[in-house]
Structure 1
């Protein structure tokens, strides 16, 4: 295994200015007190790591719903979908992925399809792990419709320290599964709304990897996760 590929992960272009700012501050701190300089170096390395954009091996089987984010599956529950998604008023299964400040924050399309809705809402900055963050926090809602007419809702939710949601796609854009569609700066959460009757294949507490972890299978909607709780 090439360790250089593990350590020297590419950085997303959105992180360049932040790394430059952190590095500049570190230089200034070096004239004040050298221990502060080394703290600044550590912060600069963390900033680079936060904006890392690693290559992912994306499953290509049609119908698989993949995790849009790295993090922990924090919630799985049936709830009324946000009006912004245009998914109706009946409860749908929501799978939430919570990202801490050490997770990769690049967001990837959970499924291939056409973007039908993109709606941004201003809001609060509550802890993203809380259930009420879905309604009260700053958020960006995206709906993707597959070629078969199935629709998946994805909501980017700002967290306690997040102050900026970035979305790279617009309505009518075509997305391939696993392609990058946005990022959230400094801690946040993503909610995925599955179509009616589709069971999740993950469990609360499970670690998810964006573009790799399978959340559900639209080809076998009643298939459920088989596992032994520890």
Structure 2
């Protein structure tokens, strides 16, 4: 387990805040019960930041024809829908909600060539809102595998998630299981898969990035 690079600034701010409030409490000789309350809250803040930005080390053996889960969380949508940004046809949508306690690293579901990438500024509706996939701040990535099959996936900001980070661009070659981005705080990742894809998860399932098999071509 390691600490993700996206959390360095947040951790530094948290440590500075903890140092200041503890120094102020000591300087003004706060009552003992108040000091203990500050110590407990300081420990809680530090542990929360560390657990949120944790980044488990994962070794993935890429598999052709397999679609791995791009994020830790819970499956909240599995449905046939119209995808109107890139494919302009019907696809199977699988959506994963990431709560604040989940690992927030995002990983490539398949290996291949990035054929499309776009960042969209937008709203910050709650991540489970039906329109969050089209109205919220988000990124859209499409990867084509060596057999010509394309998967579209979106990072979607939520009510608390105000920073989406991505590490890919068009024409990049990506490897299944490697990081393609990070979303701070509660958020969502959508997958759009070809019709006929065998779906291996159900609504309500808890899933793990780069471990759970979402489906197979």
- SS of equivalent residue, structure 2 residue 54: coil
- SS of equivalent residue, structure 1 residue 91: strand
Number of residues of Structure 1 aligned to a counterpart in Structure 2? 207
Partner of 2:28: none
1:80 has 2:82 as partner = yes
In 1: Cα distance, 2:74 partner to 2:61 partner: 20
Q: Deviations over 1:45-76 (max 9, x none)?
A: 11111111102243533110000000000111
TM-score for both structures, normalised by structure 2: 0.92
Structure 2 unaligned runs (5+)? 26-33
Partner of 1:40: 42
Q: Which runs of 4+ in 1 moved over 3 A?
A: none
Contact 2:62–2:175 (CA under 8 A) maintained in structure 1: no
What aligned pairs does 1:47-86 form with structure 2 within 5 A after superposition? 47-83=49-85, 86=86
Q: Deviations over 1:52-103 (max 9, x none)?
A: 11022435331100000000001111111141xx22x221000000000000
**Cα 1:64–1:26, aligned 2, differ >3 Å: closer, same or farther?**
same
In 1: Cα distance, 2:190 partner to 2:61 partner: 20
Q: Deviations over 1:6-48 (max 9, x none)?
A: xxx2011111111111111011111235222431221121111
Partner of 1:27: 19
Contact 1:23–1:41 (CA under 8 A) maintained in structure 2: no
In 2: Cα distance, 1:72 partner to 1:139 partner: 19
What aligned pairs does 1:14-163 form with structure 2 within 5 A after superposition? 14-30=6-22, 31-32=24-25, 33-34=34-35, 35-83=37-85, 86-87=86-87, 89-163=88-162
TM-score for both structures, normalised by structure 1: 0.87
In 2: Cα distance, 1:196 partner to 1:22 partner: 46
Contact 2:62–2:111 (CA under 8 A) maintained in structure 1: no
Report the structure number with the largest CA radius of gyration.
2
In 2: Cα distance, 1:193 partner to 1:169 partner: 18
Partner of 1:174: 173
In 2: Cα distance, 1:82 partner to 1:122 partner: 17
- SS of equivalent residue, structure 1 residue 130: coil
In 2: Cα distance, 1:158 partner to 1:139 partner: 6
In 1: Cα distance, 2:63 partner to 2:122 partner: 37
Structure 1 unaligned runs (5+)? 1-8, 219-230
